[in-house]
């Protein structure tokens, strides 16, 4: 009887511990504003699955797509409140918190070649994270958002002058706003969820967005695209509430960080083909996609130099540090 009692007691204790561990699972709230079919949401679902597996269910990642919980801008603002633990916003959202991070949003600042070098990618990520950590945030990785281009409803733009006098939707951020102004256009900041209706109603003339934004959110409301290669290779900044993150056991921090590292490394390789497929889909439906030639691209680069100079004058430490990362990882590698 004593042996039976001991066995039953041990079994009950074991079950209680298992149930307790499950009940104490840490919830990671991860909202986004893109549609459920957008590739960013799909990577988030992969992140949720892998973190759950790596922590044996100790972290339960809850993904809320399509603005169900917050827009990205509101989600960034909610970091630190306990309502949101992680956000993957376009990096211009982080620029509104710490302007020095706007360096990676400058025209022609990044390229696929640079960001596919893991040493450079991690160095730039750490540099940007250093700037926001005093605000209790931490950047764990930089995903490729898109090599942005212009979408118009009626205007088939082919050169710089065609944008003069137009109203262009941008995500926001000082650097993007100044960039659009330098083109002779008027920037209008609004969330992605509003850009299709604004374009269709004529409130704006065009949208500065990604292939995903075009195919998944705008559709044939935007019939014409103008692309300047590397003019604005934008990123998603995987940003976490640093107070919450630092409070986790090291094994859980490692599970999150390692999963982000894996996704970032493969995503920079996969996104090019994914975006090409989306552009091809739009062209197949009757849209036009015009890529400027090298001569026209150089005109855009020359025009952008003043924006870079103004940023460097205001924040003289940032661009030299970015250059130092490049020299260490690529130029001298």
Mean pLDDT by 10 residues, the chain (333 residues): 44 44 80 87 97 98 95 94 96 94 96 93 98 98 94 96 96 90 93 89 95 91 96 96 98 98 94 90 97 96 93 97 95 64
209 occurs within a structural domain: yes
15 occurs within a structural domain: no
pLDDT at 34: 84
Q: CATH code at 188?
A: 3.40.190.170
- How far apart CA 117 and CA 332 sit, in angstroms, is 13
Q: Are the C-beta atoms of residues 258 and 54 closer than 8 Å to each other?
A: yes
63 occurs within a structural domain: yes
pLDDT at 187: 96
Pairing of strands 288-291, 224-227: parallel
Encode burial over 204-239: b for 16+ CB neighbours within 10 A, e otherwise: bbbbbbbbbbbbbbbeebbbbbbbbebbbbbbbbbb
Instruction: Find the angle CA(92)-CA(94)-CA(98) to the nearest 5 degrees.
Output: 115
Pairing of strands 86-87, 167-170: unpaired
pLDDT at 332: 63
Q: Are the C-beta atoms of residues 245 and 100 closer than 8 Å to each other?
A: no
2 occurs within a structural domain: no
Structural domain count, the chain: 1
Give the residue from 73, 203, 92 showing the smallest Cα distance to 145: 92
Range of the domain at 163: 25-331
pLDDT at 242: 98
109 occurs within a structural domain: yes
8 occurs within a structural domain: no
Q: Which two tokens stand for residue 231?
A: 């003019």
- How far apart CA 114 and CA 333 sit, in angstroms, is 12
What is this structure's pTM?
Answer: 0.86
pLDDT at 9: 45
List phi, psi (to 5°) of 188: -125, 115
pLDDT at 254: 98
């Amino acid at each position: 009887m004593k042996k039976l009692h001991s066995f039953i007691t041990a079994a009950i204790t074991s079950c209680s511990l298992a149930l307790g561990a499950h009940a104490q699972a840490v919830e990671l709230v991860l909202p986004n504003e893109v549609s459920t079919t957008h590739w960013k949401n799909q990577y988030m679902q992969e992140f949720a699955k892998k973190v759950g597996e790596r922590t044996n269910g100790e972290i339960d990642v809850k993904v809320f797509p399509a603005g169900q919980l917050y827009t990205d801008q509101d989600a960034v603002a909610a970091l630190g409140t306990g309502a949101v633990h992680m956000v993957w916003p376009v990096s211009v959202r982080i620029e509104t918190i710490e302007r020095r991070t706007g360096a990676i949003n400058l025209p022609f600042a990044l390229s696929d070649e640079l960001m596919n070098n893991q040493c450079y990618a991690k160095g730039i990520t750490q540099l940007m994270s250093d700037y926001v950590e005093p605000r209790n945030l931490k950047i764990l990785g930089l995903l490729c958002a898109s090599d942005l281009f212009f979408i118009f409803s009626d205007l088939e733009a082919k050169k710089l002058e065609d944008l003069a006098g137009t109203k262009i939707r941008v995500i926001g951020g000082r650097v993007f706003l100044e960039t659009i102004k330098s083109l002779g256009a008027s920037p209008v900041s609004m969330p992605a969820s509003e850009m299709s209706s604004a374009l269709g109603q004529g409130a704006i003339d065009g949208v500065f967005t990604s292939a995903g934004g075009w195919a998944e959110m705008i559709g044939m409301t935007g019939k014409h695209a103008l692309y300047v290669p590397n003019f604005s290779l934008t990123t998603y900044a995987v940003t976490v509430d640093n107070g919450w993150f630092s409070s986790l056991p090291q094994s859980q921090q490692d599970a999150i960080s390692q999963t982000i590292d894996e996704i970032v490394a493969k995503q920079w390789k996969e996104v090019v083909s994914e975006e090409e497929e989306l552009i091809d889909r739009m062209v197949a439906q009757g849209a036009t996609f015009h890529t400027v030639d090298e001569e026209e691209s150089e005109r855009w680069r020359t025009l952008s130099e003043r924006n870079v100079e103004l940023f460097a004058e205001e924040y003289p430490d940032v661009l030299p540090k970015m250059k130092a990362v490049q020299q260490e990882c690529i130029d001298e590698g």
